[in-house]
Structure 1
Amino acid sequence: MSSSPRFHILSIDFQDLDVIWNVRLFYLAAGFRFVPGRVDPDLDLLVILRGDPGPPHRDHRGIVHVYDYVKELQVDWPERFPRAREIRLISLFRPDPLPEGLRWVPGYLPVVPEFWQQSPFRKRAGRPLHIANFKPMGDDPYQQDLARLARHGLVRVYGGRWDRLGLATHGLSYLEANRRLASAWCCYGLMYPYQRGLTLSGRMWQAPLHGCLVISEQGTNPLGLPGILEVERFSAETLLSVGSIRECWQIRQEATRYWREATERLALQLDLPAYRGPSAAQLASCGRERRAQHLRVAWGRRLARAGRWLTPPPISCWWRRRQRTLQGLGRLLQGASRPDGGPSNR
């Protein structure tokens, strides 16, 4: 009896844990065995996320699947993997020109609805959300609109570095972010200008799976995904885009159907076995990692907050050392877990 084929996920920064969990579950459901740690040249499959992995992996002799969903780098993949048996590039649109030795697969990313959806289905009255780090993109009108709505108390913003626009925010774990999306009627998306119309924001699949409408920039939904409302500007009028919990439930149902069908289609295009979804044990394994990431983020926030509170002036040397220790632990835990509720550039 032959052993299961082995695969490894390679990312330049392992920032998008939501993507990594979806990808792992997708290939586990296809019969692959995940191999963590060092990249073995004899692996059956190497999955590339978030751009160029660098030259140390040129000896890989198996298959390579590249998910080009960030749109930040142009990489010569056949040159990067000269010994690979096959290289497939998964992106929404066909590269022009398509390099020789590269097979294009129209698609985005695998999405596993059952891993993210909350039960029972509930909605609470509250402000719309925006969950993402501040994006350094000058005087972008959409970002300025978001900041203005947040300053007037109309939108709740989570993520890092929004203090540059005068907003006090903090990051979220993936578990916290999904709980908030599950209780919200709508949220705001925001992409870099160079990404608009070429790829999708992570919120465009995550929020609708919870029945949360995504209010997004004009021209950012070329595929007509369910649960996305494109607008020319973010304004107070868009806050009334969802009128009932029945609409939220319909968004969830349509998004669930869309992403299940898209993931099944992706498996066929990649010549994988017919996709039937991950097992309960596979879902539980990734669920434990998600819970651990949440605990690291939550405790990191508490330690950092405690370090600030414990030092009223005058500050003794002993208290100063305690403060620095607590703040350092908080930064370490949060930095290791990427506590922004999602990637900053999607």
Structure 2
Amino acid sequence: MSELQFNRHRRLRQTENMRALVRETHLRKEDLIYPLFVVEGENIRRLVPSMPDVYHISMDNLQAEMDEIVSLGIKSIILFGVPAEKDEMGSQAYHDHGIVQQATRFVKERYPEIVVVADTCLCQYTSHGHCGIVEGGKILNDPTLDLLAKTAVSQAEAGADIIAPSNMMDGFVAAIRHGLDEAGFTDVPIMSYAVKYSSSFYGPFRDAAHSTPQFGDRRTYQMDPANRLEALREAQSDIEEGADFLIVKPALSYLDIMRDVKDRFNAPVVAYNVSGEYSMVKAAAQNGWIDEKGIVMEKLVSMKRAGADLIVTYHAKDAARWLSES
């Protein structure tokens, strides 16, 4: 044995404190953005059937939800609205008293330190379920941009700290940046869903947001999962148009893309740990097949390791609790 020469990597793994000392990637509560589904009506705290522990929440129950979020040390939320009425133009998305606008005002008045990210899209507000204006069965790109800019401005007027457009129309960041600037919101950043794939992992979200398309699919504006270089082109366009953050969505099956984006662009990268990724873990945990805490923390760390600065995740409450225990 004395003649053998090899590296003893285990020296740095001997105790928990030693492992912590040399740990390369860290997850913090500040990295987490918690999604909330706010609905119209009263006395609603309704479980989303396909998303355990995720609820539709009406305005009168929002304070209790926010009190819990604040008590856990979560600093940021992203708001999704589920309106009572829909139309072809998605007009409730940009109405002054739309559900996201109401929720934003409520949160910023009572919890001014919380960073409110407003999801800026039309799909959950349109009767057809698509992210833009539809004519003759075709989703029209350029006419949709005006409505997206109008939505972003109304959300900024309500007090949103960050605008997060998720529609994937060409030029959506440029249109929103122009609209915000013209309205005097030059300091409101854009967290662009720059790299958003047409994914089967979105199913539970569409259940929660009531946003399943009534015809066709979203493959003409969301990206082909087989494409890598296209993601870099999309991200480059958004940076040039004024994006301040770049979202990669979904996260878990696209960690390679996340690393590509982080290596290429000098902007904060946001991983969206989407509904399907969440619900699979929850279902397996409920069946006793996995260690939920271990799986969740491992996958969130994998997103940080791949280059994410921030993570949008439905696991945020649980993760915050577990981080407090460590």
Using structure 2 for the length normalisation, give the TM-score: 0.28
User: Which structure has more strand as a fraction of its residues?
Assistant: 2
Instruction: State the TM-score, normalizing by the size of structure 1.
Output: 0.26
